[in-house]
Amino acid sequence: MKTLSVYSLLIMICLAGAQVSVTAQDLENIAKEKAVTISGGASARMMFYSASGIPQRRKPFSYVLTGSPVVSLYGITIPLYFVYSEQERSFRQPFNQFGMSPRYKWVTVHGGYRNINYSPYTLAGHTMLGGGVDLTPGIFRFGFMYGRLNRATAVDTTSGSFDAYQYNRRGYAAKIGVGKGSNFLDLIMIHAKDDSTSVGDVGTKVQRVSPAENVVFGLSGAYTFHNLFVEGDAGLSLYTNNIGSSIAFDSIPEILKNTLGKFININGSTEFYSAYSFAVGYRVKDLSLKVQYKRIDPDFKSMGSYFFNNDLENITISPSFSLLNRKIHIAGSLGLQRDNLQNQKESTSRRVIGSGNVSATITERLGVDLTYTNFTTRQKPGRVFVADTFLITQTTGNIGIMPRYMVAKENITHTVLLSWNYMNLVDLNSATASNNNLNSTNMFLNYQVILPQKNLTLFVNLNSAKLNSATTETGNKGVTLGGNKNMLDNKLTLGLSVSVMQSTTAGKSSLLLNDGLQCTYRVNTHHSFNTNMNYIGSYPGQSQPENPRFSEFRGEVAYMINF
């Protein structure tokens, strides 16, 4: 194997390990720009590790090279990113991505790995390897993308089975619309299909995952008129779970089947889903009010998105306003939510969601924040009888108070921050209340003093947490001391923190130490060195196999360059 120069290696890493987002300046002024410029940064890090009393959680030594260079060609900026680590040596094909989206006036071209977002229920940020274009001439909006959404995987990484786990999936998405900024209306479509031949022949084995096909039609828009605004998104998804199924779909009208059949193969495994959300609101200087409605069918999915929180319907009202020359700001929301939209579950859950926040500036030095949330869930039996013992009926309340006090002078600044939070879960089901009720209390007090003339910052933190349930009581309390100091004309920064915490579980106590030391030396604006050392020690009162006495040391040395 031939030895590569350092520059050649960096170039290969940039091209093989980069995820790129490219934008361009107006090419009409290209003659005024420099031919080639390079900026950005890179770092080299070495990590050290050792442990006693427990198995090693990582390698004793590792390293990683990272960088984010930005290459500019006649004003066209191309940001790059690379990562090279010794841990990747075990991979035959590391996860390499490269893509760009150069723009000229109202034309944007996409190539490589891209994450495009057309609307929440159609193409919503799914990574696609391919190409596309966005056109925005005047008030018109056009978009098109084509490429690979999933790469074929013949091995289930969780079980090691060589059955088909994920097929090669390709698709395209198109958008046509009108409008600019916050006033627009878009029609969107995405179609994707699995290649059933992309993972080879599984023989007589039953396929654990069937090749699927999906088409989604979407509508997205928003409009603002003076202080009023409306916005909405909708999606209709046709999802064929097995494109090889021989079962016919007979319950759909023939005219609709012939129309939709031009976009997707419809059979007995085809399912129809819908999802939509709509909001209307009003905004003025110190007042806003928004009402939103959302409904997502059970199992709604699109091959252009990774995940949907489905089978829900909710309506929410969210007011916000300020008083007394904006010294007091009040915001809140109140909503109703339910599931089991198609009566397929054994029970239906209904939730009341409420929250409120008050932020008050009492004086120039004193302020306070108050928060309150309440979540109530009630389940009722559906068509199938369900015993009361299995029905959830509970309410969760949360109250938080956070006063703050700050005194800022020329030679010293004092800051005091106190936080108190209480959570209470009450089971309203008489059959299970005695076992499920619980509450927790969390508090911390932080004091920080800054001495600008001495380039010194000191802090102390006191914290306490307690959780009470029907079966056990756990808690912890501790103190953290630390500070940082700048020296040598701010070229050298030293930081130290020492934390001691005592935890208690079911009457058994344990002591935890966490100490850290940081040192940063800036040679100049381009070069700097950084070291971090951290020690963790756990000392239970009674050492047991599930709770052993152990210690860990982690260290890191890094060199960073900005160019």
At 254 the pLDDT is 73
3-state secondary structure of 186: strand
State yes or no: pLDDT of 8 exceeds 50.
no
* Dihedral pair phi/psi, residue 388, rounded to 5°: -60, -30
At 142 the pLDDT is 96
Q: State the Cα–Cα distance between residues 344 and 90, nearest whole angstrom.
A: 47
At 528 the pLDDT is 96
The residue behind tokens 């998804």 is: 237
At 30 the pLDDT is 53
pLDDT tens-place string over residues 375-418: 765 545 444 443 444 444 567 889 999 999 999 998 999 999 99
The residues, ordered by sequence, that sit 6+ positions from 239 with a Cβ below 8 Å of its Cβ are 212, 213, 214, 270, 271, 272, 273, 301
The residues, ordered by sequence, that sit 6+ positions from 128 with a Cβ below 8 Å of its Cβ are 113, 114, 115, 116, 145, 147, 148, 149, 171
The DSSP bridge partners found for residue 24 are: 76
pLDDT tens-place string over residues 477-510: 999 999 999 999 999 999 999 999 998 887 788 8
At 448 the pLDDT is 97
Provide the sign of the torsion angle of the four alpha carbons 199, 202, 203, 208, taken in this order.
Answer: negative
| 8 Å CB contact between 203 and 235 | no
pLDDT tens-place string over residues 146-189: 999 988 876 555 555 554 468 899 999 999 999 998 899 999 99
pLDDT tens-place string over residues 207-256: 567 899 999 999 999 999 989 999 999 999 999 999 888 887 767 777 77
Determine the average pLDDT of the residues in 196-214.
71
State yes or no: pLDDT of 199 exceeds 80.
no
State yes or no: pLDDT of 204 exceeds 70.
no
